[in-house]
Amino acid sequence: MVRVRVPCTTANMGPGFDVIGAALSLYNETEFEEIDKGVVILEEGRPKVDESPHKNLLYTSYADTLKLCGRPVRGVRITGRERGIPISRGLGSSAACIVAGILAANRVMKDPLSLDEVIEIATRMEGHPDNVVPALVGGMAVSVSEHGRVLYAKVPLPESLAFVAIIPSFRLSTKKARKVLPRAHSRADCVHNIGRAALLVASMASGDLSKLRPATGDRLHQPYRLRLIPGAQQILSTARELGSIAEYVSGAGPTLMALVEGHDKAAGFASNLNAALSGRPGGWKAIHLRPDLQGARVLDV
């Protein structure tokens, strides 16, 4: 039996579309156990019957990794032990499933795949590296695909930086959130994002949090995705009034992320924000999260 724990991720972080992401302290924990035949998927001890196993990312990433390595696919029992990452909320739920399946298959095969190989397989399955890389290596990372390879660099995060995820009860599919994006952008918008992405990385690396608000500015995806998130602009304004130092759409949304200086302050900020959100349509809830610096790991069972 193999148990894998994977952190959630917040991607884009404003200007870093499909490139920048960070791992945070919200987790999925899943067990994979080889059986003689068949596929059994259990969620909270009960069979998951609302979808075919061949449409389940935990199973498909597990089975496809075995096939890729020439290993016969036997039966498997997949059990969700902890499901902290909400689905279709912009916190890397699909990347977490893909990473879990690949790492479980790798461990079943006695770990023939290197970390770089795992990253490349995960990126092919996910379609972009901004979630899977930080989910695997922890912390904040900048990732690009170059001639079939994934190149990444980790970015140190200031110890005092806290993340507050503002999560609604409704979902927003990545497919829908990508569909609203324009096919082309002006030179001015591209230069705007290049500058802010560079400033974001430099600010994090230097620990200068004073520039994070302009550094998380974006013109390539957020203005279009915010239209799909009812009440988002008002919530972002409330977060600023309560003391956040920057805000952005997490991944494809609908989760909004507020950055706060100081973890003690972030706990109070989240509490005050939840009071302000009480009764608001959308079932919004603010959660204080810390950076996860380890990334996904296979646990001893």
Q: pLDDT tens digits for 53-85?
A: 778 999 999 999 999 999 998 899 999 988 899
Residues 6 or more apart in contact with residue 17 via CB below 8 angstroms: 193, 218, 220, 221
Q: Please, which residues bridge with residue 233 across strands?
A: none
45 versus 144: the higher-pLDDT residue is: 144
pLDDT of residue 42: 85
Rounded to an integer, what distance in angstroms lies between the CA atom of residue 123 and that of residue 103?
A: 13
pLDDT band, residue 51 (cuts 50/70/90): low
pLDDT of residue 37: 85
The answer, yes or no, to whether residue 47 has pLDDT greater than 60, is: no
The answer, yes or no, to whether residue 49 has pLDDT greater than 60, is: no
Residue type, 136: L
Q: What global pTM score does this model have?
A: 0.94
Write down the domain spans for the chain: 2-156, 161-289
Neighbours of 46 (CB within 10 A): 9
Neighbours of 59 (CB within 10 A): 22
The answer, yes or no, to whether residue 124 has pLDDT greater than 80, is: yes
Tokens of 81: 């032990």
Tokens of 153: 């660099």
The answer, yes or no, to whether residue 297 has pLDDT greater than 60, is: yes
CATH 3.40.50.300 fits 2-156, yes or no: no
Q: Which CATH superfamily is domain 161-289 in?
A: GHMP kinase, C-terminal domain (3.30.70.890)
In the numeric block, the tokens 């989240």 are attached to: 270
The answer, yes or no, to whether residue 52 has pLDDT greater than 80, is: no
pLDDT of residue 114: 97
Q: In 18-45, which positions are buried (b, 16+ CB within 10 angstroms) versus exposed (e)?
A: bbbbbbbebbbbbbbbeeeeebebeeee
Residue type, 116: D
Neighbours of 68 (CB within 10 A): 14
Rounded to an integer, what distance in angstroms lies between the CA atom of residue 177 and that of residue 160?
A: 32
